[in-house]
């Protein structure tokens, strides 16, 4: 959610939430400054840590104001997440990949989920673009090859939920549920790789990006829903409220990463922007509940569907503000950015360090409080869109 507020500042220039956003992000960095705080150490997954790393990466790319000098910096935090996850890459099953759970006792330790591996791929690709370091680039290539090779990404660029590596499963049986955030995390990661390659290599990434965008439209912008962004697994059942708290926010991430894709791969703009525009208009109409809270099912036209929560507010805000992509510069890199990095961030005594090539180019903040912040941002965006 704080990545959404970083984006809010980036797109609007409104800095009234910047201090609380910085405080909230830094509260989660933990003793080793790698987004593994003690209050989440028993339950944290690679996807959880990955999302915080991507939040920091986005702050560096957006040139979000730096933390105080005595605090870890955005780029270094993103590098810390990459470093801690690279040493968790597990070849013992499925020929590689990250497990869902970080700890052996976690319920996801025998499951290699797509979003954890997508976060790692995305972070590696964006670090490669930002820093110019070949090590990140090689990891992004390897993680993409693994995801596509093991079948978590299909030849049609469908991105599944994950696969079990328990016992002799070895990722042979897939959970084929499609989620918007999986499509988005790979879309923007692929766009980053397209952005930093040339020739035949770039053409290969372009084809992957075009395929991902096309399949995303087919799956998540269905004709029966007016071609409006839909979380089809849980939202699509009429009258059934089955999307959990996390799933209600997933369209926020797809919206954010579609906007980022437009900036990284400008050829994608005519493919992506009509989807974002239609969905933003529908989302704005759904923000008609008491106090203008936003609903879940954007395709319900002018009738608020009765749902509300942080996820709904985040999704509406992100789809609205990512329609403003033409008003902002593209993501920064080491030459244009302001964030200080540390390629050794996150490494611990006794851990296997990530070998880098030479550079050649806590407690959660109260949900009600966060909802009120996001609601203010949504209202401003909704007014802009419908006026």
Task: Count the domains in the chain.
Answer: 1
Q: Is there a contact between 121 and 186 (Cβ–Cβ < 8 Å)?
A: yes
Q: Is there a contact between 284 and 320 (Cβ–Cβ < 8 Å)?
A: yes
DSSP classification of residue 293? -
CATH of the domain at 80: 1.50.10.20
Partner residues linked to 162 by β-bridges:
113, 175
Q: How far apart are CA 125 and CA 192, in angstroms?
A: 6
Nearest of 167, 157, 149 to residue 111 by alpha carbon: 167
Domain hosting 63: range is: 2-386
The pair phi, psi for residue 327, each rounded to 5°, is: -95, -5
Q: Is there a contact between 19 and 373 (Cβ–Cβ < 8 Å)?
A: no
Tens of pLDDT along the chain (387 residues)?
899 999 999 999 999 999 999 999 999 999 999 999 987 766 789 999 999 999 999 999 999 999 999 999 999 999 999 999 999 999 999 999 999 999 988 889 999 999 999 999 999 999 999 999 999 999 999 999 999 999 999 999 999 999 999 999 999 999 999 999 999 999 999 999 999 999 999 999 999 999 999 999 999 999 999 999 999 999 876 655 689 999 999 999 999 999 999 999 999 999 999 999 999 999 999 998 998 899 999 987 778 888 889 999 999 999 999 999 999 999 999 999 999 999 999 876 445 545 544 434 333 344 444 444 555 555 454 444 444
Cα→Cα distances 341→146, 186, 296, 346, 384, Å: 28, 24, 38, 12, 36
Q: How far apart are CA 202 and CA 265, in angstroms?
A: 11
What pTM value is reported for the model? 0.90
Tokens of residue 241, six digits: 């409220």
């Amino acid at each position: 959610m704080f990545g959404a507020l970083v984006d809010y500042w980036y797109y609007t220039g409104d800095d009234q939430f910047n201090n609380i956003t910085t405080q909230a992000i830094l509260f989660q960095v933990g003793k080793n400054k790698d987004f593994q705080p003690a209050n989440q150490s028993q339950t944290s997954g690679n996807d959880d840590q990955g999302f915080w790393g991507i939040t920091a990466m986005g702050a560096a790319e957006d040139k979000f104001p730096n933390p105080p000098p005595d605090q870890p910096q955005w780029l270094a935090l993103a590098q810390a997440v990459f470093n801690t996850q690279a040493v968790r890459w597990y070849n013992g099953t499925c020929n590689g990949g990250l497990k869902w759970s970080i700890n052996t006792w976690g319920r996801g330790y025998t499951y290699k989920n797509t979003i954890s591996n997508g976060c790692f791929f995305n972070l590696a690709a964006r670090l490669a673009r930002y820093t110019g370091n070949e090590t990140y680039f090689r990891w992004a290539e390897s993680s993409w090859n693994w995801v596509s090779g093991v079948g978590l990404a299909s030849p049609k660029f469908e991105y599944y939920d994950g696969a079990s590596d328990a016992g002799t499963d070895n990722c042979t049986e897939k959970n084929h549920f499609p989620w918007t955030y999986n499509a988005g995390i790979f879309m923007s990661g692929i766009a980053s790789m397209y952005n930093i390659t040339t020739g035949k290599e770039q053409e290969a990434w372009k084809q992957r990006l075009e395929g991902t965008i096309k399949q995303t439209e087919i799956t998540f912008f269905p004709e029966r829903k007016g071609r409006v962004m839909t979380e089809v697994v849980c939202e699509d059942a009429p009258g059934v409220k089955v999307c959990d708290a996390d799933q209600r926010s997933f369209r926020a991430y797809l919206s954010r990463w579609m906007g980022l894709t437009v900036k990284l791969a400008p050829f994608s703009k005519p493919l992506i922007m009509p989807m974002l525009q239609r969905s933003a208009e529908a989302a704005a109409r759904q923000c008609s509940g008491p106090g203008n809270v936003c609903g879940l099912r954007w395709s319900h036209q002018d009738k608020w569907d009765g749902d509300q929560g942080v996820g709904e507010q985040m999704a509406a805000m992100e789809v609205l503000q990512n329609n403003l992509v033409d008003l902002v510069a593209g993501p920064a890199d080491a030459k244009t950015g302001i964030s200080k990095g540390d390629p050794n961030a996150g490494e611990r005594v006794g851990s296997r360090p990530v070998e880098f090539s030479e550079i050649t180019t806590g407690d959660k903040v109260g949900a009600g409080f966060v909802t009120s912040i996001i609601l203010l941002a949504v209202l401003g965006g909704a007014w802009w869109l419908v006026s």
